Amino acid sequence: MPARKPLQFTAADPLLASFPPVVAADTRTLILGSLPGAASLAASQYYGHPRNGFWKLLSEITGEDLVAMAYENRLQALLAHRIGLWDVVAAARRKGSLDSDLRDIVHNDLADLLAQLPQLQTIAFNGGAAERIGRKSLGGLAGKYRILALPSSSPAFTLAYAEKLARWRDLVRE
């Protein structure tokens, strides 16, 4: 298989921005992704690509059919389970949806958000890029929390669903 040609970016390439955090004062678990992909950005929804396994995985973990719910109801259901969402990347340039193509990354202020979540116990990274970027952003704060490195819910990460689910079940193990 030939090597992939590196992408070229210019200042004319748009800077893609993440969504605001979905959290409440009683959030105990925070799931951090990298930056929403093209389908999610177009839909203005976290994990908006229909093949992304995120909502299916969380349905199994929460016992609620999040997939069948309207998006706003999904978010409210997560908050009721004391689960929050955000991304480690506030903005970046990217062609397509692959995390490996992120350039000119601007980090979200994780320390500021964590200071607003006094009941937070677990930080879970959805995928390797989120973990790499997020651990750098957390710095010394990481020691205050249970940190989980979860396999990406993206369809681009080809781990079998059953294996992903087994690892994602760690969210509910203390």
Q: Which residues are catalytic?
A: 52
Alpha-carbon distance 26 to 83, whole Å?
9
**Parallel, antiparallel, or unpaired for β 89-93 and 103-107?**
antiparallel
Whose structure tokens read 């976290």?
Answer: 46
Q: Hey, what's the torsion of the CAs at 36, 112, 59, 19, to 10 degrees?
A: -30
Strands (E), 7-93: 16-17, 29-33, 83-87, 89-93
Task: Give the CA angle between residues 16, 160, 35 to the nearest 5°.
Answer: 10
Q: Residue 5: CB partners within 8 Å, gap ≥ 6?
A: none
